Amino acid sequence: MELHLEDKVAVVTGASKGIGLAITKALAREGARVVAGARTIDALSGIDRVTAVALDLVAPDGPARLVRRAIDDHGRLDVLVNNVGAVRMRLQGFLGTSDEEFDWALQTNFFAALRATRAALPAMLSGGAGAIVNIASVNAFFEPDAGVLDYGAAKAALLNLTKSLAQEFGPKGIRVNAISPGPVSTDLWLGQDGVAHTVARATGVDPDTARKNVLASIGGLATGRLTTPEEVATLAVMLSSPLTANVTGSNFVVDGGLIKTI
């Protein structure tokens, strides 16, 4: 299917691994020119049609610097994918989670996207069109325990912002949507500081057993496997395309059947 993304200019945050890297590659394969930001950019080296920018997206000026690079290089901005995010397991529950830890979660998972969006909108408005895709999480509305309560709160704020921006800027040609992945085969779940290893260390089992135990405790996955980054990327690219021009203010769940309710 031709997605009409040839020579569109896209910014992707948190682009060096996992979902962000998959989205960057998928947009580039569709012909977009991608300005990809992350702290480290080795994994982005040599990808055709991709400009890698090393910067801290949690710093107050980081998102605007990335957007400015895209506009300076290409003179326009058509797509913004707010992917940057991270989670730290909170095994001590609410009373063991400090203000500073909530602040870290909000800065990383909400304010980085907020700032990138604020920087991107003027260029999109001047062009009369644009697509913003926010990578949220099922934890924005699914909290089976306190392990990710600060992360979930930040992602819930991102979903709320998605709805508000879609209403305000829809009449001006800007579409804003969200994707809420469930467990994905990235470092967030499988890395040394991810869910599986953190729970394994706390419970005295191996990471594979810990992963299976966590998934079982939250209801299990109908497909029996984690979502791949590429599956999330496919949806992100579709939402970036003019073919979905009347889709806005929506949240798309990609969770392998984790959420059982309608």
Phi, psi of 170 (to 5 degrees): -55, -45
118 has pLDDT over 90: yes
Position 194 scores a pLDDT of 82
Determine the straight-line distance between the first and last CA of the chain, rounded to whole angstroms: 30
Residue of 142, 151, 169, 189 marked catalytic: 151
Regarding beta strands 251-254 and 9-13, do their DSSP bridges make them parallel or antiparallel, or are they unpaired? unpaired
Q: Which of 73-87, 89-103, 132-146, 193-207 shows the lowest mean pLDDT across its residues?
A: 193-207
* Mean pLDDT value across residues 56-75: 98
Q: What is the pTM of this model?
A: 0.95
Of the candidates 9, 65, 17, 63, the residue with the CA atom closest to the CA atom of residue 43 = 17
Q: What are 196-253's pLDDT values in tens digits?
A: 888 889 889 998 898 888 888 889 999 999 999 999 999 999 999 999 999 999 999 9
Please indicate whether residue 101 is annotated as part of the active site.
Answer: no
